[in-house]
Amino acid sequence: MCAPANSLSVAGCPVELQLIPISACTLRVSLVPIAGDGKSLPVENSAELIVENTKHAIATFRALDAPQTIAWKDCRIRLTAKPLSISVTDGTGGTCQSLRIEDDGRIAFALGTGPLFGLGQGGHQFDRRGGSFPLVNGQGEGVSSLDMRLPGAKAPVYEFNLAVEGARITVPWVISADGWAVFIHKPNGVIDLQGDTGRLTPAAAGGTLPFDAFFVVSREPVQIMREYAALTGYPHLPPLWSLGYLQSHRTLLGREEILAEAKEFRRRKLPCDGFIYLGTGFTPDGWNTGHGAFAFNHRVFPDPDLMIRQLHSDHFRIALHVVDPPLHLSGTVHDRGAAAEKTDNAAHYWKEHRPVSRLGVDGWWPDVGDRLDPAARLARIRMYWDGPIMDHPNTRPFALHRNGYAGIQRHGWLWSGDIDSTWQTLATQVPVGINCGLTGIPYWGTDTGGFITTPELTGELFVRWFQYSAFCPSFRAHGRTWKLRLPWGWNTGEFGPEEYDGRRVVPGRLPDPKELRNAAVEPICKTYLELRYSLLPYLYSAVRETHETGMPVIRALWLHYPDDPAAAKRGHEYLWGRDILVAPVVEKGAASRTLYLPKGLWYDFWTGAAVAGGREIVRPVDLKTMPLYVRAGAIIPTIPVKQSTAEGLNGLLVLTVYPGVDGAATVYEDDGASFDHEKGAYRKIRFGWNESARRFNLALQPGSKPLESTRPIVIKITGTDENKSLMFDGREQTIQF
């Protein structure tokens, strides 16, 4: 029997269109092939999705005789044929999104007029409009998908700037400041945003099928982020120590140097929570015996169990570098039987880690997975979450990955890869971090100082990068010539191990030796280390919000100021949590920083001066100063400086009120290490400020774990000399100013 003339088809294949509401804001649009027996072939969910594949369609079509209109909540969906087009309008009649499927399988979609965000890491920044994004992963070295060519193309379709942008981790999630977003499930090819219309061009003719996408319609950015989390998973709650400063190491010179460095951090009173050790291979002497090995290098770790215990006693956590995962890694650490005996199974691969893990290793640094496809990447990321829990069931794991995809946030962290030590790189990493947050990857950071040492690396560049990293979720210094990544490394007179292996050798390579007696670097690093640790109650509370809502820690101004077009366009400044605006200094020799303050009243963090927003300002800076502003109505919690999170966040809590409007805040607390918070072992202390009455209120949020003892609290009002002290026992209190 011949198919009707009005049958839907793509590249000659008969298809069925399915419209499936996932929530009040998200619509799943699936175009699936029809088999010879007349049955539609279902779209199989994959590891990046957590949404149930059991929702009922509000409409299915195999043919279109005439345009159709379907009601969906407050929206309308209009369908037309030849080519198949799908248009979604909101309750006001405005077009949110329109999609066109060409007969050859290419997908075209409306871009609107607002800035475009998301799409993971790397590529055209900050507004993604004008960029082309091949669906690739990694640093471009041995990545088979990077050789992809579109039909008829004579050259690869990507532009790649690892030195400046970092590893390319393309995630098919596009957000528009116009109030919509789309996640494309299991795409292939290139997402092209260079014209007036966006395009998904498959790598092979007809390669779009099945086409499966989730369209989000909302004018509320917070809701858009929540919808993405509902699709791909809410971010995990990391251990508290992972939010402290982490010092990375490369060439190791022996047991005594390793242990002495821990003492040196404490002697200099430089807060630090963890050491990360590179493996042997990229350096002559790392923690293990070679790439992919799980045996300690006894030249530098002769008694690893004793050394780890010593480092733990000095309150340092330990994370180890590992490379060369199985190319087709699959399964989970819980697999048993024949499946677990396969060398590319996660259970088999994790067994190689366990002897090392059981010695007390606190985290892992999985590197070099560029050739893994999305499923294998996510299997690896999950393995470094599930595996440690097998031996330590009530301890939150930590793993810092170079490769990722949608869903990484459920189990791991991401860093931006082997970038160069240049001013251009530092400037680019700011919007890269913001877009990672908008892609639902909240736990992210860079190699502070850049990985590839160049002559541009000076004490000034390192300080500016260190300041920026203090306001990134991952605060970690790493790079070749690694001793220059120590806070005191710029005043020793020595470079330390040079560590060039022939890859990406930069002419000149090393900084000016005159830079090695720069006494200004360490005190500034110490200031920002102490600032990071004093702000840990604020940061940990923001991380808890991330865990509950999907909102990132690094937040584009657009997320909280969607009605301010000037704010939406700013990609070189961001909000740290809800209340602190960060404007990194990324220009050599800068004496000032131009930045935009959204509408409202703001306070200079360093001086306390009130500044009217809704305008661009020029803030004078010296080397010690990275501009920070706090919005009126904020209540910022801080604690006295700790040398590590092992000292806890209890004790004195200082609450600084930034007046001008009413405000509220919540401080989240738990043990920082276990999963007991999932059983209710946590507390949230809620604070409120009434501007007109000049009254401060605090109480435990219902459901919170009671305080074991009273807690000293000091309340300060910015711009005044007023402060009041109290002992908080969990009962509601009101303080009049």
CA dihedral 402, 451, 320, 496 (to 10 degrees): 170
Say how many C-beta atoms besides its own lie within 10 A of residue 513's C-beta.
10
Do 621 and 698 lie in one domain? The reply is no
| 578 located within any domain | yes
What is the residue whose two structure tokens read 């990046």? 48
pLDDT at 141 over 70: no
Report how far residue 304's alpha carbon sits from residue 259's, in angstroms, rounded to the nearest whole number. 11
Do 97 and 200 lie in one domain? The reply is yes
Least confidently predicted of 95-104, 301-310, 639-648, 696-705: 95-104
Q: Can you give the length of the chain in residues?
A: 737
Output the pLDDT for position 82: 85
Least confidently predicted of 74-83, 269-278, 429-438: 74-83
Report how far residue 556's alpha carbon sits from residue 567's, in angstroms, rounded to the nearest whole number. 8
Output the pLDDT for position 157: 45
Choose among 105, 117, 115, 110: nearest CA to 94: 110
List residues bridging with 717 in a β-sheet.
657
Band of pLDDT at residue 108, cut at 50, 70 and 90: very high
Output the pLDDT for position 151: 45
Report how far residue 153's alpha carbon sits from residue 567's, in angstroms, rounded to the nearest whole number. 39
pLDDT, tens digit, 9 for 90 and up, residues 714-725: 999 999 999 999
| 697 located within any domain | yes
Do 679 and 724 lie in one domain? The reply is yes
Report the 3 state secondary structure along 64-77: CCCCEEEEECCEEE
Report how far residue 216's alpha carbon sits from residue 693's, in angstroms, rounded to the nearest whole number. 41
| 88 located within any domain | yes
What is the residue whose two structure tokens read 């640790």? 533
Q: Where among 202, 217, 232 does a domain terminate?
A: 217
Do 687 and 731 lie in one domain? The reply is yes
pLDDT at 4 over 80: no
pLDDT, tens digit, 9 for 90 and up, residues 596-628: 999 999 999 999 999 999 999 999 999 999 999
Which pair of structure tokens corresponds to residue 221? Answer: 């950015």
Least confidently predicted of 11-25, 94-108, 253-267: 94-108
| 253 located within any domain | no
| 331 located within any domain | no
Output the pLDDT for position 243: 98
Do 722 and 582 lie in one domain? The reply is no
Phi-psi region of 206 (alpha: psi -120 to 50; beta: other; left: phi over 0): left
| 227 located within any domain | no
Q: Where among 198, 217, 236 does a domain terminate?
A: 217
Output the pLDDT for position 429: 98
Mean pLDDT of the chain: 93
How many structural domains are present in the chain?
3
Residues 268-273, mean pLDDT to the nearest whole number: 98
Residues 296-313, mean pLDDT to the nearest whole number: 97
Do 125 and 172 lie in one domain? The reply is yes
Do 619 and 696 lie in one domain? The reply is no
Residues 405-415, mean pLDDT to the nearest whole number: 98
Report how far residue 61's alpha carbon sits from residue 347's, in angstroms, rounded to the nearest whole number. 43
Compute the half-sphere exposure of residue 209: CA atoms within 13 Å on the CB side of its CA. 24
Q: Is 92 helix (H, G, I), strand (E, B) or coil?
A: coil
In degrees and rounded to multiples of 5, residue 718 shows phi and psi of: -60, 140
Do 87 and 207 lie in one domain? The reply is yes
Which pair of structure tokens corresponds to residue 633? Answer: 């109505």
Do 578 and 658 lie in one domain? The reply is no
Which pair of structure tokens corresponds to residue 26? Answer: 């998200």
Report the 3 state secondary structure along 448-514: ECCCECCCCCCHHHHHHHHHHHCCCCCEEECCCCHHHHCCCHHHCCCCCCCCCCCCCCCCCCCCCHH
CATH at residue 173? 2.60.40.1760
Query: Checking DSSP bridges between strand 413-415 and strand 400-401, what pairing results, if any?
Result: parallel
pLDDT, tens digit, 9 for 90 and up, residues 146-197: 344 444 444 444 557 889 999 999 999 999 999 999 999 998 889 999 988 9
Residues 353-377, mean pLDDT to the nearest whole number: 95
Q: Which helix (H) or strand (E) holds 271?
A: none
Sign of CA dihedral 370, 371, 372, 373: positive
pLDDT at 54 over 80: no
Query: Checking DSSP bridges between strand 695-700 and strand 683-690, what pairing results, if any?
Result: antiparallel
**What is residue 235's DSSP assignment?**
P
Output the pLDDT for position 148: 43
| 539 located within any domain | no
In degrees and rounded to multiples of 5, residue 19 shows phi and psi of: -115, 115
Do 621 and 685 lie in one domain? The reply is no
Q: Where among 217, 234, 259 does a domain terminate?
A: 217
- Provide the residue range defining the domain that includes 707: 650-736
pLDDT at 341 over 80: yes
| pTM of the predicted structure, to 2 decimals | 0.96
Output the pLDDT for position 149: 43
Do 147 and 191 lie in one domain? The reply is yes
Q: Is 6 helix (H, G, I), strand (E, B) or coil?
A: coil
User: Among residues of the chain, what percentage have pLDDT more than 90?
Assistant: 82
| 145 located within any domain | yes
CATH at residue 574? 2.60.40.1180
Are 318 and 277 in contact by the 8 Å Cβ rule? The answer is yes
Choose among 431, 424, 426: nearest CA to 568: 431
pLDDT, tens digit, 9 for 90 and up, residues 510-552: 899 999 999 999 999 999 999 999 999 999 999 999 999 999 9
Which pair of structure tokens corresponds to residue 204? Answer: 């092979």
Do 560 and 686 lie in one domain? The reply is no
pLDDT, tens digit, 9 for 90 and up, residues 465-496: 999 999 999 999 999 999 999 999 999 999 99
CA dihedral 46, 52, 56, 57 (to 10 degrees): -40
Are 75 and 29 in contact by the 8 Å Cβ rule? The answer is no
pLDDT, tens digit, 9 for 90 and up, residues 638-660: 999 999 999 999 899 999 999 99
Are 59 and 19 in contact by the 8 Å Cβ rule? The answer is yes
Measured CA to CA in angstroms, residue 737 lies from 178, 638, 696, 715 at distances of 43, 20, 8, 10
Residues 91-109, mean pLDDT to the nearest whole number: 84
